[in-house]
Structure formats: structure tokens, C-alpha cells
Amino acid sequence: MGRLDGKVAIITGGARGQGAEEGRLFASEGATVVLADVLDDLGQETAAKIQGARYLHLDVRSESEWQATVDAVVARHGRIDVLVNNAAIDLAKRFEQTTLEEFERIVSINQTGVFLGMRTVARAMMAANRGGSIVNISSVAGLEGVKGRAAYGSTKWAVRGMTKTAALEWGDRGIRVNSIHPGIIETPMTANLRAFTDADVRAKTERNIPLGRVGQPIDIANMALFLASDESAYCTGQEFTVDGGIHH
């Protein structure tokens, strides 16, 4: 039996990278998977390759689109058991050079998008009275300061904080809320980092990682699977670091 047999899961940022990998893994473990993204062509293509998956357009910044997505999933499947808030963008820029427009765009996707997703899905979970699991993808930049990541890091700290508050408030409704904090993971979002464009930089980066390699999307997907499943039934309000051992 699969660890997610019978569960219905929404995964944002599901068209590619970590979200797509989570979708593939969840489906292989028996879940009905809904991939949500703004990359419609790629999202449709990804969903078509995953048995039992479908794709829905979702701009996570939009309250109305979140409600429409949740309503559509509940109408079709009767409930939502799992939400993975995976959608995010990065910005590598010094603090004093970051514009207000850049800062607000990062916040709207990485922070407001997670807030709206948590709130909208939690309401549906409460209405169904079945409990559920919300998994928020934060970052090691949500655990410590990282140079060049003032905007990005601030949103990932916020995700960590929202996770803990929601876990306290929703625990009595059977809703577990946890955060995952990836280190350097090889995905389309990080493709332009020098660790992935310069062989020497990559080698140096990997020498500094205790496990000796950069992370892959499956590393995050495996942790998300654990937190989505009943195997983590006594875990809530916690942060799970997946970074090869860099953060202590």
C-alpha cells in the first residue's frame, strides 16, 4: 500500500522542479495530485505524465484564484488532505540595492501566497472535519541570515513563523503544519547560480557540504512525503532541514 493512499494533495509550483518531483512521488504513493502553477503549458505537460494527476492554473498571489482552486478540488474530490506550499521565486541582491518593487514582488509570492494557501485550504479542511497536513517549503535562509538574500530570506523566515502559529491554532482540528528548509537544491529556480554554471564553484560548494553533494528535488520530495503521510502524525509546528548537513 502507498503511504498516501486515498489522499488528495494540492502542490503549488507544481509545473517543474521540486513541485513536479513531489507530484510524481505523491502519485506513486497513491495520492490524487493537483499540480497548481502559472506555467500552464509546462504544468499540463507535467500532469499528463503523472498517473492520477491534473493541473490547475493558480497565481498564488490571488485570493480569488486560491478560492476557485480549492472549490474546484473539493467539488471534484470531496476534500483536501494535503497542501504543499512550494511556489516561490528567488532574488540574489544586496540589501541596499533591492528596490521596493522587487521586495514587494518576492513577498507577494513567497509570503502572501503561502498565507493565502494555508488559510484557504485550512478552512476547507475544517469544513470537512477530517484534519490534514500542510507542508510549507521555507529555506535554510529562513533559519539564518544569508548574504544577498534580504528579500528572499525575510519571506522564508515569515513562512517559518506562520507555520508555527498555524500549528498552534489548528492542532485541535487535526491539521498539522510543518516547514521544510532546503539547502542548495538543483532546480530551475537555482539554475543560474554559479554553483550550477561554474564547475569550479560547484566543486568548492560540494566540498563545503558534509554529505559532499548538492541536493536534488527528490531529497525535498521525500521529506514532503513523510510530512504529508500518517507516518508524521505526531509532528507539527516543526522545521525539517534538508541541506546535506550545512546548517547546525
Check: CB of residue 70 under 8 Å from CB of residue 120: yes
Residue 114 has φ and ψ, to the nearest 5°, of -70, -45
Please say if 55 is a catalytic residue.
no
Options 55, 66, 103, 152, the catalytic residue = 152
Residues 6+ apart with CB under 8 A from 114: 60, 85, 136, 158, 159, 162
Yes or no: say if 108 and 155 are a contact pair by the CB < 8 Å rule: no
- 37 forms beta bridges with 57
Provide the b/e sequence for 72-84 (b: ≥16 CB within 10 Å). ebbeeeebbbbbb
Active site residue ranges:
152
